[in-house]
Amino acid sequence: MIHTEVAEPTGTPMGAVTFVGFGPGDPGLITYAGSREVVQADLLVVDSPVMVEELASVGIEPLGEVVEAEADEVAQLVAAVSDGRSVVRLVEGDFFTEAGHVDVLRRLLEGKRIRTHLIPGITTWDAALTYGAVVPTQVMAFCDASAGVPGDDSWPTSGTVVIRATDATITEVVAKAREVYGRDTEVLELTRLGSTSQQPRLSTWAAIGAEPCGGSRFLLIGPGVGDSARSRVDWFESKPLFDWSVLVPRTKDEVTELTDHLTRFGASTEVVATMSIEPPRTEQAMEKAVRGIVDGRFLWVLFTSQHAVRAIVERLAEYGLDSRALSGIHLAAVGRGTVDALARVGLTPDLVPSGGDTAHHLALEFPAYDELIDPMARVLVPTADVSVADLVQGLTNLGWEVDEVIAYRTVRAAPPPAEIRERIKTGMFDAVVFTSSSAVRNMIGIAGKPHAASIIAAIGQATAATCVMHGLRVDVVADSPNFESVAEGLARFADARRADRLRQGLPDTKPSQRRRRRRRDPNRGA
């Protein structure tokens, strides 16, 4: 008989730690592989919770626990993976180009028991060259002075040199650079790298100041840096909405698509919720609707918002069911957000109106009931507490029997923070983009009217009319009632405004940089 010995386990099951590069600052620059790891991690370790907020702004939301990195980062990661959890350590830029992280990896691997993965990110050094539109020479050198000023032998003296400093080190860096490179050497300074408000400035070591910039700054010197900066292609700064601060009041629907379009045009966005979502006051109607879905009483279910999708899916879950209960039913969806909400639960709509993102457009494109083809005529429309009368009437005219059920309620949100309200009233937002009439009414109700200096953009004529009704000057009306069109309209307006000011010999300033009139002294001239 052959005896086989089975070794005893030598320890508890170990998880894995994945180091993911966040990129140079713009959350949209994280890689697809990195974003997937962030979403699926059991534990996400970050330098700051701000990272998570920025990822959420581009639709990347972790499903697991989120914690900040501790002083003893190695012990923190080892304890986490010892529980068998998958851990992601999110670091700025790229893992190997940031000081300190390589040492963490080395110490983790010493025990030979922790599985480790690396997902690279766009380095801040590469981003500095790209955003600075500087063509590197054959010889490149990088000097990291973010943690402290390097010694005399660590300052590169040939080729294209990229130096990184912080608010804490910039004074010493400039003083040392004047000694090494000379006071009159041209320097391209980049601040707020990767953001929509980044600023390039060609200067000299003698003229560079030490004013705080709120983060890292990059200083580029070397052959051709000065010439490149003077004749550079300002690909980033030339965006129509570069450095514009745009307010987006949000009602019941998400506006991620809109903020994405605005960001591509160079704007920084601030989303203010003007409406919150709450369950219906009574549950009987929804319970009846869900039983009808399970019993096969509906041929179609029409979703006009992502909140309606969420309400139906959550109610199915209460019965121990999931989205597969909708597999035998035709689905229609209005708007990209609604389509995405269905996709997240594994569903693809059979009909999405091509003419526009409104319930009215769905009614125009919906097929007529045919008793020879359609086994039943009943349609379910889960909506908010505001009736979609046009849609219901349109379907009825087409021969369908419509069950409209209140799936959720919309309630005016609480006022935004005092800082936001002050910025709205004093015109510190360059533009305000309204996506519905309710957004106009609700924002004015909770935060007051935007300042006259702010540019007002409306997604359609009805929204524009509501703005005018409330005493607002409308500068932009979208050609089509969708997010892309209103963002493009605002960008065209900014371009035309800039060209007009230049023709008049006026400085190219933003709306928020208007000259404030001095108040007349009543005692003057008395």
- Percentage of the residues of the chain whose pLDDT score is greater than 70: 86
Residues 442-451: pLDDT tens digits? 999 999 999 9
Whole-number Å distance between alpha carbons of 460 and 230: 42
- So what's the pLDDT on residue 524? 47
Residues 93-134: pLDDT tens digits? 887 766 567 777 777 777 656 778 888 888 777 777 777 666
- So what's the pLDDT on residue 9? 39
Residue 510's nearest CA partner among 237, 316, 309 is: 237
Task: Flag the least confident range among 102-116, 228-242, 404-418.
Answer: 228-242
Q: Which residues contact 43 (CB under 8 A, 6 or more apart)?
A: 64, 65, 66, 67, 80, 85, 86, 87, 88
Res. 62: pLDDT tops 70 = yes
Domains of the chain from N-terminus onward: 16-122 (3.40.1010.10), 125-230 (3.30.950.10), 245-274+414-512 (3.40.50.10090), 279-411 (3.40.50.10090)
User: Quick check: 47 and 92 in contact, CB under 8 A?
Assistant: yes
Whole-number Å distance between alpha carbons of 300 and 331: 6
Helix (H) or strand (E) holding 409: strand 409-412
pTM of the model as a whole = 0.57
Where is mean pLDDT largest: 54-68, 240-254, 382-396, 416-430?
416-430
Q: Which residues contact 358 (CB under 8 A, 6 or more apart)?
A: 334, 481
Residue 494's nearest CA partner among 259, 269, 241, 262 is: 241
**Angle, CA of 392, 398 and 403, to the nearest 5°:** 35
Measuring CA to CA, how many Å separate 57 from each of 28, 277, 331, 427, 487?
A: 9, 19, 28, 24, 17
User: Quick check: 414 and 446 in contact, CB under 8 A?
Assistant: yes
Residues 287-310: pLDDT tens digits? 999 999 999 999 999 998 888 999
- So what's the pLDDT on residue 182? 87
Q: Which residues pair with 410 in a beta bridge?
A: 277
- So what's the pLDDT on residue 355? 76
- So what's the pLDDT on residue 517? 45
Q: How confident is the model at residue 519 (pLDDT cuts 50, 70, 90)?
A: very low
Task: Flag the least confident range among 91-95, 327-331, 453-457.
Answer: 91-95
Where is mean pLDDT largest: 221-230, 236-245, 315-324?
315-324
Angle separating helix axes 437-447 and 418-426, nearest 10 degrees: 110
- So what's the pLDDT on residue 226? 66
Residues 249-269: pLDDT tens digits? 987 666 778 888 898 888 888
Q: Which residues pair with 514 in a beta bridge?
A: none
E-only strand ranges, 96-238: 115-119, 140-144, 160-165, 186-191, 199-204, 217-221
Side-chain-side CA neighbours of residue 432 (13 Å): 33
Q: How confident is the model at residue 11 (pLDDT cuts 50, 70, 90)?
A: very low
Res. 192: pLDDT tops 80 = no
Compute the mean pLDDT over every residue in the chain, rounded to the nearest whole number: 82
Instruction: Report the C-alpha dihedral over residues 368, 371, 375, 378, rounded to 10 degrees.
Output: 50
- Tell me the three state secondary structure of residue 325: helix
The DSSP code for 481 is S
- Percentage of the residues of the chain whose pLDDT score is greater than 90: 25
User: Quick check: 101 and 95 in contact, CB under 8 A?
Assistant: yes
